[in-house]
């Protein structure tokens, strides 16, 4: 379970770089900064690397709480299935279907818990907050505003 402590924000160049590299919306960047700060991570990549299969539910729950408490608009929490549709680490994983949690924002799939899938896909852009739709097919089951 992710810890949620409040402490003063520090400017981290890794966060600034992520914002500039992916031209993130200010609300998306705010969510990322809150997650990193609350969980004592210095970089987005470290946060992703520390994720394990099954962590997606807790991560998206934390993201949803950040969205609600800050009254951010346009975000939807999604529970659904993903299917591996591109080269996997193990070719036996091709076509595998798993449950997953993600966020939908302005018709974009945001995968704050992409690190939970690192054992199943060769992500074309691992550190991007945007879902790797070249490797995974996202199929919503439940959408929560």
- Best CA proximity match to 76, nearest among 126, 13, 128, 138: 138
Q: What ranges in 23-119 are assigned the alpha helix state H?
A: 26-38, 44-49, 56-69
Q: What ranges in 13-124 are assigned the alpha helix state H?
A: 13-22, 26-38, 44-49, 56-69
Q: What is the pLDDT of residues 35-81, one digit of tens each?
A: 999 999 999 989 999 999 999 999 999 999 999 999 999 999 999 99
Q: What is the pLDDT of residues 78-110, one digit of tens each?
A: 999 999 888 666 778 888 899 999 999 989 999
The CB density around residue 63, as the number of other CB atoms within 10 Å, is 24
C-alpha 103/C-alpha 60 separation (Å) is 7
pTM of the model as a whole? 0.81
């Amino acid at each position: 379970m992710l810890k949620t402590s409040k402490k003063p924000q520090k400017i981290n160049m890794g966060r600034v770089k992520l914002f500039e590299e992916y031209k993130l919306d200010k609300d998306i960047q705010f969510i990322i900064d809150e997650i990193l700060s609350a969980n004592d991570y210095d970089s987005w990549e470290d946060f992703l690397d520390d994720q394990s299969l099954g962590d997606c539910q807790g991560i998206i729950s934390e993201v949803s709480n950040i969205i609600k408490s800050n009254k951010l608009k346009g975000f939807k929490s999604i529970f659904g299935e993903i299917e591996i549709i591109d080269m996997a680490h193990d070719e036996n994983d091709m076509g595998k279907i798993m449950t997953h949690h993600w966020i939908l924002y302005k018709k974009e799939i945001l995968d704050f818990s992409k690190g939970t899938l690192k054992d199943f896909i060769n992500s074309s852009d691992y550190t991007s907050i945007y879902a790797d739709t070249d490797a995974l097919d996202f199929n919503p089951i439940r959408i929560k505003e």
